[in-house]
Structure 1
Amino acid sequence: MADLGVLEDVPGAAPERPGRPGADPGLRPGRLRAERIPLLATAALAVAVPAVAALDLAVPGRALLALAFVLTVPGVPLVAGLRLPDPLLACSLAGALSIATALLTATAALLTGTWDPVRWAWALALVHLAATAWVLRRGPRTAGPGARAPGRPAARELRIRAVCAAALVAAVGLWWLAAGRVDLDAAGASGLIGVVGWPYLAALVLVAGVAAAQLVRRAPDGVVLAAAALVLALVLFAFANVADGAAGVPTGWRHVGFQRFISANEASFYGLDARASWPAFFAAAAQLVHLAGVADASAFLQLAPFFYNAAALVPLLVVARCVTGSGRIAWLSVFVYLGANWYQQDYFAPQATAFLLYLTVLATLLWSAAAAWRSRAADRPGGPRPERRRLRSLLAPLGRRPPLPAGLDAGRSVALEGVLLLLATAVVVTHQLTPVTLVLTLLVFVVTGYTRFRRLWLVVALLFVGWFSYGASDFWTGHLSAVVGDVGQVGANLDQAVTSRVVGDPTYQFMQQVRLGWSLVHVLLAVTGLGLILRRPDARLIALLAASAGSLVLLQSYGGEVVLRVFVFAAPLLAPLAAIALHRLLTWAPRGLPARRRQWLALAALAVVLTGYGAAGTATRGVNVSFERVSADDVRAARVLWANLREGDTVGLLYPAGAYPGDRYGEWSTVWLREERCELPPEACALTQLPRFVLLGRTQDAALTLVEGSAPGASRELADALLRSGRYEVVYRGADAQLLVLDGPR
């Protein structure tokens, strides 16, 4: 039996072998029939979803069908027509192209005043059907040169799969038990890790054990590893939301409010929020809500973090395979990525959607670069050699044009560039910061000579400047100094992002420092991994890609979140580099140790490391759960508020927590009752400003206690004082929230 040190690629994930560009392999009839299934299934879906929406039928699972429509129409047949030799990359591009199309068509409908989600869905369905007919007529080909149809697993493999499946099902059961038993109200300064309970930790151990057992096998099973990665994503990213019965992160509820505004007014919310200048995500969410037949986008909030992380696994695996050169280490990097993702930028938000598109572009460019390098290296006697470090060799990549990847001809390469341009255009109209990172990434590939798409960075940069200048003029007009004021202010940007956030309760400060320490460990592992591959010819490319994400601190503080965004964009590269270092550490063993003992040692060490990554991810991600969560009681209080609001009303709050921004956006305004904002104590502020409603709750208390260092129970004391004053009465009171209304005229 082999140990982890054998760099043997996972079946089905092996790097493409050089071959004649454009060559189509001979595929067996059974394989061809199998490739027709997704084309025909998505064609049926493309017709069914707009038809059901047009008739407004109460079909079971309608919301899931609508989501599947957005993820597959029209990307599946369009990408199938490219005949990409890598099935994983094709799958990633199909989903990203469908999402990008939804973003762009929703934006076009909003800007042109042609808002009609059903008609636009029918238009996409027609494109999908036409592309499907064309691909079926040509005969679908997705396998690479030399690919063979997979055989049926042996009986022993099926038994191993059954055991692993049972362990993963048990892990999900333990996770569900933990979610039902956890008391999130007791999560204080230490965050989520202090209250998850033993069933949650047991679930992590089971998932880590299954993944480790597969990774030390001679031929790891990609199906089992994919299932383990999905279960780990569920355990890490859906726990708090499922336990609360509602979606956390109040900003996600604000995005629901934006969606409802667009649905009601068929226009963006200009003048109410700066994000109105990038309306693509909110408009697409409004169209999705209409197709799904649900009341609003809150139906998609609860499992959004799990969805975004699960969707990222496919392009992430492509990226990791290119960086590590090994399917085994690539799978290890997937689990490392999940355990290190504490940044919580994966809720129902534009940046999460734009990041998926960015990650797909990165995966495509790295796949093309890796395939091109292998093709060039195969023609060299003795294999690849490191490039000379002279000035001429440093400038040489600027004029280098890589060869076509094996299995891709010139025409399909141009079409692939068109797909990347469409993804980039969708990113430009979706999010403010992601296009900057995308331009830098594209430029790095040009400077290092690892892309044929040499002008793509310039086109995307012009699109970004054009949209920012005209489409986002409401955002920067009169505030240009604030937009460019942070450029070059590295120290101030870092201070806003790091130092100013480590405040409040001493235990809470310690947990924030744990976050910083865990991030530092992850970065040091990645730097070590980079050092291990420095002799590779593409090491400069990988290093510059990681550094380009870090350069964002030169440009913006981004409201104090720039370091978070740096980690988000660097994470797809940090994870495989860290996995390379971990692989080297985990495969070390004393000399003379028998092979079987080496394997068991590697298995135990890997299981411990993966469990540690899961526990560290839980601890660092859940630090703010006390005030970032939105309980079912918060939602009930917010719904009572929305039902009683009148246009022009004011709502008093101590802290932006809860579900309150999820409806009636723009019809009411906020009165902040904290002394720093009002310049009066909360009670005096409320009785002076007299907001019509005062919404208070446990999450506001937690934020004031942990972040501001206030005494516990501030919101409860304020509510009691306002009730004693006789000016307010209770409209709603629950375990976690209460709503007061002004009694009488202001």
Structure 2
Amino acid sequence: MSATVKSEVRSQTREEPARRVRTEWVSSLVELGVASSLWVLTLSRVDVRAMTDLGLVSVLPWTAWAALALMAFSFARALGRRTSPGWLLTGYPLALCALVFSTPPILYGVPRYSWAWKHAGIVDFIDRTGAVDPQVDVLSVYHSWPGFFAANAMLSDLAGFDTSLSYAAWAEPLLNLLALAAVLALIRAFTTDARTIAVGGWLFVLGNWVGQGYFSPQGINYVWYLIVLTVLLRWFPGRPAPSAPDLGAARRVGLCAVVLLLLVSIVSTHQLTPVITLLVLVALVVLRQTSLRSLPFFMVVVLGAWVLYVAEPFTRTELREALSEVGTVGSNLESTLIGYGTASAGQVLVSLSTRVFTLVFCLMAALGLLTSLRSGRRDRAALVLAVVPFLMVGFSTYGNEVLFRAYLFAMPGLAFFAACLLWPPGTPAVRRRAALVGVVTVPLMVGSGLAQFGNDRQYHFSPEEVAAAEFVYDNAPPDSLLIEGSRNYPSQFRNYERFTYVPINREDPEDIQRILDDPERVMTRWMSDTDTYRASYLIITRSQVDATTALGEIPGDGLLGIEAALRSSPGFRVVFENRDATVFELATAAGGEAP
């Protein structure tokens, strides 16, 4: 054989593996693109008005589940290939995150969760007045921790938006993608195995059902929390690893400045995040997992100064109640449970499924921890992240959400240990191991869907409900009384401090029953107080009805019974109406005679 022929043979031999690798990469990208396209196309067939008490999963067609199954199958195939690069593997959790959390703004067009609208109301207040008012009667806590709202007021002005609602709906995919990116970088502090990192990110997306990554102070503070941990554990570990980057003095100072700035931002933006951050920092320093050992002292000084001085008007009245919850672990846990005796069957199923899903996820993390210990790994920093946030259960109920918030903050550590169970660091590309990831992913997707979107029948708002709320805020004079079926509708997003709000579902059970027995008499008495209020309105919307019915907050015919009684009464007049909302006022308010 001639030298030329031998050279051509060697060249072809080298090119064939490279060609095969490129083909495998293209195949994965095509599969990922098909799954993503199928999901997006499926959303055009979803009728959100047909949702049941099982939420969004009740109206997803089979093509949506096929898209998720295809993505899981493609991810497993990529994991099983030795040639799959890290960027391709991490692309899967990023794509899944983008699809899942872009679904609400695509389907609903406006922010879900009533609190997102209230947050926009604080931004509106700051934009109008140029200041905060800690003495305001409604939502005063936000005026004591205004960092998020002040930043958005500035952003709205700079971008030329009339209101932060112009972009608030898209905060959900943005904040969740930022959180995932930070988690992927954080897991790299525990292992350099690209497959373990990718599986950890994948599980983080599936396990992140708590729903705090929306237009909220918690959403952005969670990102800041993750970035702080990433910087500490990757660039300032307790014992520098051989693979740790060699930082110069200037970069060390710069990174320290970033950490300090983020900690100040965390303290000024939210009430719970600084406490959990402090607990985690203390644990990391005590266990010598970071070299920045003065950070807990810095955090104590900044947090103490903020609570005792800046937020003093709020803490002066609320501190005693907060201290009374310290140590009451049992009651703090019980406060997170819904009333199973009054909730609808669908909501009970969603609640139970969410809790089972969470327990399974934590069990996977525990088994992953045992796997790591048996292999000789001592992931102390990851253990701190997975365990320490749950200490908050002994400190507060935090609005009946403390257990879920603790789970949210523990998610990075839990996701890493769960990934260690499915793909221990150092495991080569093995098809059987990849198949296991795919098989486990499918039921996790179903559980995650129920947990993430199981309450969307009441969490999403239609354009008709928004129109009704805008009518009220456009026409109600200052010092008006706004009676609401519940607070679960788009409210308090404009000039919110000018009104008094009375949600019916928050009245004592005896008072709710009196309203149901004679809605006309009770509402007439409430709405005829002209000495206190310049005008009075009663707002009943679809989401209010769905929420109070699903949770069993108002018995019998509930808000629909109240609406029917007032419609048939000559003492009330409908001033606004569409298929999803009705706004009443007293007939005498329009110049008529008293009934």
Normalised-by-shorter TM-score class: 0.7 to 0.9
* Cα 1:178–1:711 shift into 2, 3 Å: farther
- Is the partner of 1:744 in helix, strand or coil? helix
Aligned equivalents of 1:187, 1:709: Cα separation in 2: 20
Is the 2:180–2:204 contact (alpha carbons within 8 Å) kept by the matching residues of 1? no
2:150 aligned partner = 283
Cα distance between partner residues in 1 of 2:95 and 2:197: 18
Q: Please give the alpha-carbon distance, in whole angstroms, between the structure 2 residues aligned to 1:303 and 1:330.
A: 27
SS at match of 1:730: strand
Deviation at 1:361, TM superposition (A): 0.8
* Mapping of residues 336-375 of structure 1, within 5 Å: 336-368=203-235, 372-375=239-242
Report the TM-score, using the length of structure 1 for normalisation. 0.71
Give yes or no for contact 1:339–1:617 (8 Å, CA) kept in 2. Answer: yes
Tell me whether 1:577 sits opposite 2:417 in the alignment. yes
Matched residues in 2 for 1:164 and 1:633: separation?
A: 42
Assess if the C-alpha contact under 8 Å between 2:289 and 2:380 holds in 1: no
User: 2 CA distance for matches of 1:180 and 1:251?
Assistant: 27
Asked whether 1:316 is paired with 2:187, we answer no
SS at match of 2:482: strand
- Identity over the aligned pairs, expressed in percent? 28
Q: Does 1:513 align with 2:352?
A: yes
Residue 712 of structure 1: CA displacement?
7.6
Could you tell me how far 1:727 is from its partner in structure 2? 2.9
RMSD: 2.6
Is the Cα–Cα contact under 8 Å of residues 372 and 424 in structure 2 kept in the other structure? no
For 1:155 and 1:567, locate their aligned partners in 2 and report how far apart those are by CA, in whole Å.
Answer: 45
Is 1:231 equivalent to 2:68 in the alignment? no
Q: Work out whether 1:495 is the aligned partner of 2:344.
A: no
1:244 aligns with 2:108: yes
State how 1:613-692 maps to structure 2 within 5 Å. Answer: 613-674=444-505, 676=508, 678-679=511-512, 680-682=514-516, 683=519, 684-690=521-527, 692=536
| 8 Å contact kept, 1:262–1:269 | no
SS of residue matched to 1:558: coil
| Partners of 1:423 and 1:672 in 2: CA distance | 37
SS at match of 2:386: helix
- Does the aligned pair in 1 maintain the 2:484–2:539 contact within 8 Å? yes
Structure 2 match to 1:706 = 550
> Which residue identity does 1:471 align to in structure 2?
V
Alignment match, 1:417:
256
**Residue in 2 aligned with 1:300?**
167
Residues 225 and 640 of structure 1, relative CA distance in 2, 3 Å threshold: farther
Aligned length in residues: 557
Evaluate the alpha carbon distance shift between residue 733 and residue 334 of structure 1 in structure 2; reply closer, same or farther with a 3 A threshold: same
Aligned residues of 1:247 and 1:631 also touching (Cα < 8 A): no
Find the counterpart in structure 1 of residue 300 from structure 2.
461
Deviation digits for residues 262-310 of structure 1 (CA, Å, limit 9, x no counterpart): 1001111422321210000001011111111111111222222211111
CA distance 1:541–1:311, change in 2 (3 Å): closer
CA displacement at 1:224 relative to structure 2: 3.1
Tell me how far apart the structure 1 counterparts of residues 54 and 245 of structure 2 sit (CA, whole Å).
52
Asked if the contact 2:473/2:495 (under 8 Å) is kept, the reply is yes
CA distance in 1, matches of 2:571, 2:63: 48
Report the equivalent of 2:43.
179
Question: Letter of the aligned partner of 1:209 in structure 2?
Answer: F
**What secondary structure does 2:492 align onto?**
helix
In 2 relative to 1, CA 369–612 (structure 1 residues): closer, same or farther, beyond 3 Å? farther
Change (3 A) 1:372 1:413: farther
Distance 1:313 1:673 in 2: 39
Q: Is the 8 A contact 2:28 2:78 kept in 1?
A: no
- Which amino acid is the alignment partner of residue 383 of structure 2? A
1:158 and 1:741 mapped to 2: Cα distance? 68
Alignment check: 8 A CA contact 2:156 2:164 kept: yes
Q: Could you tell me how far apart the structure 2 residues matched to 1:325 and 1:162 are?
A: 25
The residue type equivalent to 2:493 in the other structure is: G
- Other structure's SS at 1:176 match: helix
For residues 676 and 696 of structure 1, the distance between their equivalents in structure 2, rounded to whole angstroms, comes to: 19
What displacement does 1:528 show? Answer: 1.0
| In structure 2, distance between residues paired with 1:412 and 1:166 | 40
SS in structure 2 at match of 1:605: helix
Where do 1:201-212 residues align within 5 Å?
Answer: 201-212=65-76
Cα separation, partners in 2 of 1:374 and 1:255, compared to 1, 3 Å: same
Residue 502 of structure 1 deviates from its aligned partner by 8.1
- 5+ unaligned residues in a row in structure 1: which ranges? 1-152, 379-404, 589-594
Conserved 8 A contact 2:235-2:245: no
SS at match of 2:540: strand
Runs (4+) of structure 1 moved beyond 6 Å?
none
SS at match of 1:661: coil
Distance 1:451 1:191 in 2: 43
1:731 counterpart SS class? strand
TM-score by length of structure 2 reads 0.88
Equivalent of residue 388 in structure 2, options 529, 548, 553: 548
Instruction: Give the whole-Å Cα distance in 1 for the aligned partners of 2:183 and 2:327.
Output: 31
- Rounded Cα–Cα distance in structure 1 between residues aligned with 2:262 and 2:318: 29
- 1:130 is aligned to none
